[in-house]
Amino acid sequence: GNSVTQMEGPVTLSEEAFLTINCTYTATGYPSLFWYVQYPGEGLQLLLKATKADDKGSNKGFEATYRKETTSFHLEKGSVQVSDSAVYFCALSEGGTYKYIFGTGTRLKVLA
């Protein structure tokens, strides 16, 4: 079946460091791909999305490119801030259905 695999955390970085959080997926068909972020004590909120191969989603300085050839959707940010400390979830939407499949989440801690 379809699945999403994320790198295990926690990831600890200094402020202004470069961030990459890896995400790969297994899916039949053409899923849509998402990154959600969960700040401490809150629910998940959509960070960015991509619907087809080579699409790049971007928001708040974060970017991810839908790579069909490597079945990946890695999250990147050029310069992280303390306020980016959160848990990040990669997810896919099975084509034509309402259901999402989530990765296990990667906790990011940014130190001042």
CB of residue 28 vs other proteins: minimum separation in angstroms?
A: 17
Options 46-54, 58-66, 67-75, 78-86: segment touching other proteins (CB under 8 A) = 46-54
- 2 contacts other proteins (rule: CB under 8 A): no
Task: Give the binding-site size for other proteins (rule: CB under 8 A).
Answer: 21
- 53 contacts other proteins (rule: CB under 8 A): no
Q: For 44, what's the count of Cα atoms within 13 Å in the CB-facing half-sphere?
A: 15
The amino acid at residue 66 is Y
Identified binder of other proteins from the candidate list 46, 53, 82, 111, rule CB under 8 A: 46
> What are the backbone angles phi and psi of residue 82, rounded to the nearest 5°?
-55, -35
Give the Cα separation of 67 and 54 in Å (integer). 6
Give the Cα separation of 74 and 67 in Å (integer). 9
Binding site residues, other proteins, CB under 8 A: 32, 34, 36, 41-46, 49, 51, 89, 93, 97-100, 102-105
